[in-house]
Structure 1
Amino acid sequence: MSSGTAQLLAALFVAAVMGYPSRRSATDLDATPRTTVTFDELSGVRRFSTRTLNYTTLLLEDERSVLYVGARGAIFALNSSDVADGSHRMIHWEASPEKQLDCLQKGKNNKTECFNHVRFLQRLNSTHLYACGTYAFHPLCTSIDADRFTLPSHFEEGKEKCPYDPSRGYTGLIVDGGLYTATRYEFRSLPDIRRNLHQRPLKTEESPLHWLNDAEFVASVLVRESRDSPVGDDDKIYYFFTERAGEETTSFFDKSQAARVARVARVCKSDLGGKKILQRKWTSFMKARLVCYMPYYEVLRSVCSLDGGGWPSTVFYAAFTLSAQWRTMEASAVCRYSISEVQRAFEGPYMEYQDSARKWSRYDGTVPEPRPGSCITDHSRRKGYNSSQDLPNSVLDFVKLHPLMFEEVKPAGGEPLLVKKNVAYSRLAVDRVRALDGRSYDVLFMGTGDGWIHKAVVLGSGVHIIEEVQVFRDPQPVETLVISRTQRSLYVGAASGILQVPLATCARYASCYDCVLARDPYCAWDGRACRETASADSTVLVQDMQHGNEGCRNSTARGESAPPWVFPPRKNRMVLRGDDVLLPCDQRSNLARAVWLLNGTEAPGAGQDRLRVGVDGLLVMDTLPEHSGEYRCYGEERGLRTLLAAYNLTVLPELPRASATPPPRPPAASQAAGDMKVVYVSAITILVGLCVVLSAVLLYVSCLQKRKGKYILGEPRPSSVELQTVSANCLRKGRGSKEEEEDDEDEDGLAYPDGCLQIIPGEAPTAAVSPAKEPPAAAPPPPPPLPSELTNGVGALPNMLRKMNGNSYMLLQQQEEPLASPLYSASFTEELSKILEKRKHTQLVEKLDESSV
């Protein structure tokens, strides 16, 4: 058992002990992407990049068809319909040389940190944008006229709105004119949630308790809970972050230090702070723990939300990675949370910090009225509390000392949607699509830390990963994901540039089976091609989201009668008896299983040592006449079989030798030993001769130099023999006379008059003709050449490196060109060739493991 598997099993045991049981195993929670699309296979992708770096802050305004991008030292306005059309506008906003020098003197990196990284970019009002940048560790903010799109001359101090450090976790929103941000602002300040651009600026409390403990912020979401609220509630801003914690259930894996846990916090939009207590501080700040299946999935990476048309249906999707205690493993988890579950935690019991025990535990004392941390509602107003400044001191004192809730926010269904090994998800985006069955499906786009996008659809309590797409050739983290329903595009922000990727590439599915099995809610089969549902007549479309195997024509219960458009051309293969032959079968789906039929009978290789089914095809070893017949390869997925390859294999008997009375052969072992002895003696003789020649040449050159002295008189003469590397220079050199050209043609191009040596790939002649001796007697004429189909497909196979499900391994594909091989050679050569041919394929495993190459 591998160490990673052992750790995963240990974590499952810990999860059960600590109260996070799962009805499904870790294997069931893992999902394999159905198809893999490498960078060279991309289609329909548009790219934008300049000399600027770090295109990580995106603002999409679909109604204006503009994508605003904040980068390092620049702000761009791109055409959202085509980011690569060249119509973009640009604002240069570089840090001044003085600030860069000051940043360098503080010990910061002048190649990464001492620049102006634009971290905030949002719409301020109908005419202006609001932007903030780190400005070489001297943050600045400014308002930008969206129509003129020029940098103004006036700037605002940004130290309370934007972080100093460009790598610091940061999130911000502009809500009804107020700027709500969360980060560690100043150079050595504590993390904080603040409100600016408001008549009542607010921040979190720092004493006697820090409400935030070394927090790294990930995201913030506005939920309009005041709309149609029966209790007259207020809008709320939810913050998602990771921080160090001191609850009694933490530090299970490492008692020496506090573990990092995921949190969700909230504040009320109409909070004005306290009158005497908590002045200019939040009176509505509350936080709760966010759990995802197992305790060690605590590092929160990304959060996105959907409201479904009304705030009561709001759901949050969150991506987690392993905490620092599990450095030997790499895995990600994706969980879904409902707004009702978050509200339940904030309406539950509080926790209190125990000075004697130096930890947080449940508070079971009296809770004052109105409920501490809640927003002002109609019930509060009827009691005379019209704003937070009217709250009694007992409520404000309680809020000050009890910011943490006891109840945890658990995922929907009590378990994650996905647990993916060997993948680190860095960013999430979600879209809701109405399929042909009338149901709405959530489609997740998950960016990885090495430049891939996983597209998945949520089906019940699980996830089906439709495809994995390599969007960057050079591995780099996906920093930002934004979805445009209008343009039907996904915008990807990263260090090297901006990508515009289609939400769906339905044309990639070539058959009805492939289209339906993909279970892509954007795509459906119209009878001739796989098309987007938004651009076709839904009455003729075929789609099956729930089962993924129904709707295609001419399909039987087992799917063996494939429609005519999926029939591949039949290929002929001929091979000599006793040889090995490989019949390739490329599976387009990573979820499909290869099924081979011989003359209509399934599983011809069951119980036979001479037939091996591998990931690249079927290998028939040491062929016999009964192996001849029709071979068909199907890809079986969800009960359907799609024909992928068809072969007619013919096994020929051994061909007769050309000579009627061959000379008697010595035993193979003695003949080989004799031949090897001759080779060794010849090699030693040649080496001794070369040493003698070289010694004589060196002695002659030494004497010549002593005689001539330091200088050489006369014109330099070319040496009679010129040693050169074989290159294109030899091919470009001019020919000699016409007679030389004829001589060259007689020698089949093996020699050139200019002394160049040409190496021609191919088979070596069986016997060399010495120019100093008479040629031997003519050999008997060779037999007729073999038919072009006589090839076993084993030798000279090209390799294609393919990444699938986080692993890398080799797939073999057969060349269609026939491979020539000599039929006659010396007896020893013939025997040796047969031995080597026998040993070419000794084993073909049915399934490669993770360590295979």
Structure 2
Amino acid sequence: MGLNSHPAYLFALWTSQLFLLTAGYWRVNPRIITAPQGERRFPLAKHESLITLYHEENTSSLFVGAEGKLYYFDFETSVNYTEDFPEQESGICTKPEDKKNYLTFIGKYKDTRLICGTNACQPTCWNWEAREFGATPPLRPQAGRAKSLVDARGLVPFVPDQNSLVLADGEDVYSTISMHWNNGKIPRFRRVRGAAELYTSDTVMQNPRFVKAAVIQQDERYDDKIYYFFREDNPDKSPEAPLNVSRVAQLCKGDKGGTGSLSASKWTTFLKATLVCVDPDTKGNFDWLQDVFIVPSDKGWRKTRVYGLFSNCWGYSAVCVYTIDDIDTVFRTSKLKGYTGEMPQIRPGQCSQGNHRTPLETFKIADSHPEVDERVQPAAPRNRPLFHSKNRYQKIGVHRIQAGDGHTYNVLYLVTDKGYIHKMVETSDGVRNILAIQPFQHPAPILAMTLDHTRAKLYVSSAREVVEVPMDMCEVYNSSCNSCVLAKDPYCGWGDKKCVSLKDNRSALQNMTLNSTQEICLGVEPPPGDSLRGFQKVTVALFSRYFLHCPIESRVATYVWHHNHSKIGTCNPTHQPCIHFIENMTHDNYGNYTCVSEEGGFTQILVQEWLVKEPERPQLLIQRSQAAVISHSFWLGFLQMVALALLFQ
């Protein structure tokens, strides 16, 4: 039986993979990290099934809404407290689980911070008075101070609902939440605060599931648009058609309603288009929109990028990127699906200046033919998914960062269903997956995530804890200059003999291209191939079993084991771990062992162990001395060694 198929080897392989997956931060490509660095965390008082995060940009504080409780955490000062928001029994709820107060909306409205909850099926908002962060004791929420918003219908659902979407924009609030307990079974997109209330017609969407909404300011104020993203039942019922289709809808922010009595309170500028996310090589269609993240551009609203996270029936994921310019062009120029008549002077979807309402004829055409014929394709030059993966991603965040070369890179943070965050860098050559983060002390699903773009922090919550994760975890690449530069992490560079954040050292060495990095680090550290570490002396008993572990630092590198300068084996980096197993330690097995990786012309020695015989009369003092110098790879595999020994008995 070969080593690769031996049960003990397979068990060691499995346990080593398990160790790596539960050891903290690890890097998919090119590095695996086994020690979390830089994160700060706060525990929650109990297991929370529903989490709402509210974070103000460029602050260190975070509000967390949960069942009957508001948490406040300051990650800089460590000030934290909780405030209870108990439900007020109304007798309306029919299900026991609904007779609670789930805080589902925390935000600012007219310079007032509101805490809003379901409150046992009678949605209610409390005014949280402004105060200096960190003050003690905390001020109590003042129920009734904001009398105009005590009734929170439209801001909070009557019961916890995953199909709820609320967008606050100045004095206007937009919502997909039903306004009445026994009415409004058909989901609508509404304007519930600010200007006159408007709502979408009941026929323009089919069982929609809302994902994201945003206001995009355009060249003229009257032309400002609301875009919202959703998925709905596919009207095409043919056997080969997918059950769901992903959409983007547009509304004019200044919509005043229609001129007729039936259209006076309706959005009259609604149009929808299909979002295409198809891999042209495999014809694989990703039709299930999961999440959307919008990245503004300093080159104007037309260059604003929309990152759509999609999945398919197999659970695989893809990210497709669109521009607001492409979306706007489709709505302005495309024909209406199924409409063959002449267009009126005011085209469906066209924004009107001043206080003019939409003519009845225009509204009737748009209301009966709300879908445009042309579909929104991913942005050029790719016109294809940014990437697709077998991972099941659930959330996406994007952060723009200027690297040392002066170029700005978009860094994607993708949440997996296993509780990891994959950090990916978008370059002209594609997407490079550089780090996978396990933010919690124990693997757990991520219920919510938000970004602080100014401070470069991620805030994530599980059911048990909330964690602040720095985006510039440069210390994970600290082993050498080449290791740091090869990471191609736009936040990091080599300076002061360590891998540092560029916000602390803008002159640090960095290379974001795919070229070799040898010339960058030349003179900074020993030439490639030289020993980076001294040999670690390890005492191994004669006729015992032993194995050496080589850390996989890159999925594209080559790994070779040497014994006394002779090649004895290679490892496939796609199969972890890379180990050399000695089943029976003989005299010929003693000596020097090295594991060498080679990538892009750069060579480094990752493991150097000197295996020596156990003394004939070992003493306790000598054993302790030897134990102190046992290599990291030995301790990493200690559990597997015990398992191997038991299996071979």
Verify: 1:633 aligned to 2:595, yes or no: yes
Match of 1:283 in 2: 268
TM-score between the two structures when normalised by the length of structure 2:
0.80
Cα deviation 1:76-100 (Å, max 9, x = unaligned):
4443635xx1344x4432211x23x
* Higher relative helix content: 1
Over 3 Å counting, the alpha-carbon distance change for 1:69 and 1:619 in structure 2 is: closer
Match of 2:466 in 1: 498
Q: Distance in 2 between matches of 1:626 and 1:51?
A: 58
Pick from 481, 497, 520: which aligns with 1:528? 497
Cα distance, 1:45 vs structure 2: 2.3
Question: Contact 2:29–2:553 (CA<8 Å) still a contact in 1?
Answer: no
Q: Distance in 1 between matches of 2:190 and 2:539?
A: 73
- How big is the alpha-carbon RMSD for the aligned residues of Structure 1 and Structure 2? 3.8
Q: Distance in 2 between matches of 1:36 and 1:553?
A: 22
Q: Distance in 2 between matches of 1:178 and 1:171?
A: 14
Question: Contact 1:798–1:813 (CA<8 Å) still a contact in 2?
Answer: no
Match of 2:191 in 1: 195
Match of 2:141 in 1: 150
Pick from 204, 213, 235: which aligns with 1:246? 235
Verify: 1:457 aligned to 2:425, yes or no: yes
What residue identity is the alignment partner of 1:260? N
Question: Contact 2:336–2:371 (CA<8 Å) still a contact in 1?
Answer: yes
Cα deviation 1:322-371 (Å, max 9, x = unaligned):
3xxx3xx432222222112212221243444xxxxxxxxx4343222222
Cα deviation 1:492-524 (Å, max 9, x = unaligned):
133333221112221222221221122211111
What residue identity is the alignment partner of 2:123? P
What residue identity is the alignment partner of 2:537? K
Match of 1:368 in 2: 344
Match of 2:529 in 1: 561
Give the unaligned 5+ runs of structure 1.
1-30, 353-361, 607-612, 656-782, 792-796, 801-809, 816-835, 842-853
Question: Contact 2:552–2:576 (CA<8 Å) still a contact in 1?
Answer: no
Q: Distance in 2 between matches of 1:548 and 1:185?
A: 58
What residue identity is the alignment partner of 2:351? C
TM-score between the two structures when normalised by the length of structure 1:
0.62
SS in 2 for 1:534: coil
Q: Distance in 1 between matches of 2:121 and 2:592?
A: 72
Cα distance, 1:483 vs structure 2: 1.7
Cα deviation 1:352-398 (Å, max 9, x = unaligned):
4xxxxxxxxx434322222211223xxxx5xxxx4441x33221211
Cα distance, 1:605 vs structure 2: 3.9
Question: Contact 1:584–1:814 (CA<8 Å) still a contact in 2?
Answer: no
Q: Distance in 2 between matches of 1:222 and 1:478?
A: 27
Q: Distance in 2 between matches of 1:80 and 1:344?
A: 44
Over 3 Å counting, the alpha-carbon distance change for 1:430 and 1:119 in structure 2 is: same
Verify: 1:488 aligned to 2:453, yes or no: no
Cα deviation 1:677-718 (Å, max 9, x = unaligned):
xxxxxxxxxxxxxxxxxxxxxxxxxxxxxxxxxxxxxxxxxx
Match of 1:176 in 2: 170
What residue identity is the alignment partner of 1:93? F
Q: Distance in 2 between matches of 1:341 and 1:561?
A: 50
Over 3 Å counting, the alpha-carbon distance change for 1:486 and 1:568 in structure 2 is: farther
Pick from 283, 296, 302: which aligns with 1:312? 302
What residue identity is the alignment partner of 1:159? R
SS in 2 for 1:347: helix
Question: Contact 2:448–2:461 (CA<8 Å) still a contact in 1?
Answer: yes
SS in 1 for 2:475: helix
Match of 1:442 in 2: 410
Give the unaligned 5+ runs of structure 2.
1-26, 132-138, 628-632
Cα deviation 1:725-756 (Å, max 9, x = unaligned):
xxxxxxxxxxxxxxxxxxxxxxxxxxxxxxxx
Over 3 Å counting, the alpha-carbon distance change for 1:373 and 1:637 in structure 2 is: same
Q: Distance in 1 between matches of 2:141 and 2:126?
A: 11
Q: Distance in 2 between matches of 1:264 and 1:461?
A: 28
Verify: 1:217 aligned to 2:210, yes or no: yes
Verify: 1:333 aligned to 2:321, yes or no: no
Question: Contact 1:192–1:204 (CA<8 Å) still a contact in 2?
Answer: yes
Cα deviation 1:9-30 (Å, max 9, x = unaligned):
xxxxxxxxxxxxxxxxxxxxxx
SS in 1 for 2:537: strand
Question: Contact 2:54–2:62 (CA<8 Å) still a contact in 1?
Answer: yes
Pick from 31, 42, 50: which aligns with 1:47? 42
Alignment of 1:738-749 (within 5 A): none
What residue identity is the alignment partner of 1:47? F
Cα distance, 1:193 vs structure 2: 0.4
Over 3 Å counting, the alpha-carbon distance change for 1:300 and 1:185 in structure 2 is: farther
Pick from 101, 105, 120: which aligns with 2:105? 120
Over 3 Å counting, the alpha-carbon distance change for 1:131 and 1:263 in structure 2 is: farther
Over 3 Å counting, the alpha-carbon distance change for 1:625 and 1:92 in structure 2 is: closer
Q: Distance in 1 between matches of 2:541 and 2:193?
A: 81
SS in 2 for 1:283: coil
Question: Contact 1:483–1:491 (CA<8 Å) still a contact in 2?
Answer: yes
Match of 1:392 in 2: 359
Cα distance, 1:638 vs structure 2: 3.6
What residue identity is the alignment partner of 1:464? R
Identity over the aligned pairs, expressed in percent? 27
Match of 2:512 in 1: 545
Question: Contact 1:251–1:259 (CA<8 Å) still a contact in 2?
Answer: no
Cα distance, 1:481 vs structure 2: 1.9
Match of 2:24 in 1: none
Alignment of 1:693-842 (within 5 A): 840=648
Over 3 Å counting, the alpha-carbon distance change for 1:232 and 1:139 in structure 2 is: closer
Match of 1:585 in 2: 550
Q: Distance in 2 between matches of 1:477 and 1:572?
A: 40
Pick from 604, 607, 610: which aligns with 1:642? 604
Cα distance, 1:586 vs structure 2: 2.9
* Higher relative strand content: 2
Q: Distance in 2 between matches of 1:582 and 1:204?
A: 66
Question: Contact 1:525–1:531 (CA<8 Å) still a contact in 2?
Answer: yes
Match of 1:356 in 2: none
What residue identity is the alignment partner of 1:644? L
Over 3 Å counting, the alpha-carbon distance change for 1:403 and 1:593 in structure 2 is: same
Q: Distance in 2 between matches of 1:368 and 1:799?
A: 76
Pick from 366, 381, 385: which aligns with 1:416? 385
Verify: 1:67 aligned to 2:62, yes or no: yes
Q: Distance in 1 between matches of 2:442 and 2:54?
A: 25
Q: Distance in 2 between matches of 1:532 and 1:60?
A: 24
Q: Distance in 2 between matches of 1:448 and 1:503?
A: 17
SS in 1 for 2:189: strand
Over 3 Å counting, the alpha-carbon distance change for 1:460 and 1:170 in structure 2 is: farther
Match of 2:21 in 1: none
SS in 1 for 2:119: coil
Cα deviation 1:790-828 (Å, max 9, x = unaligned):
99xxxxx9896xxxxxxxxx997669xxxxxxxxxxxxx
Question: Contact 1:168–1:184 (CA<8 Å) still a contact in 2?
Answer: no
Over 3 Å counting, the alpha-carbon distance change for 1:281 and 1:644 in structure 2 is: same
SS in 1 for 2:113: strand
Q: Distance in 2 between matches of 1:343 and 1:280?
A: 25
Cα deviation 1:221-266 (Å, max 9, x = unaligned):
22111xxx2x665221211112112037x6526xxxx711211112
Match of 2:85 in 1: 93
Cα distance, 1:600 vs structure 2: 4.3
Higher RCO, 1 vs 2 (CA within 8 Å, ≥6 residues apart): 2
Over 3 Å counting, the alpha-carbon distance change for 1:599 and 1:477 in structure 2 is: closer
Count how many residue pairs are aligned between Structure 1 and Structure 2. 588
Verify: 1:136 aligned to 2:124, yes or no: no
Pick from 242, 252, 272: which aligns with 2:256? 272
SS in 2 for 1:157: coil
Q: Distance in 2 between matches of 1:180 and 1:298?
A: 26
Match of 1:618 in 2: 580
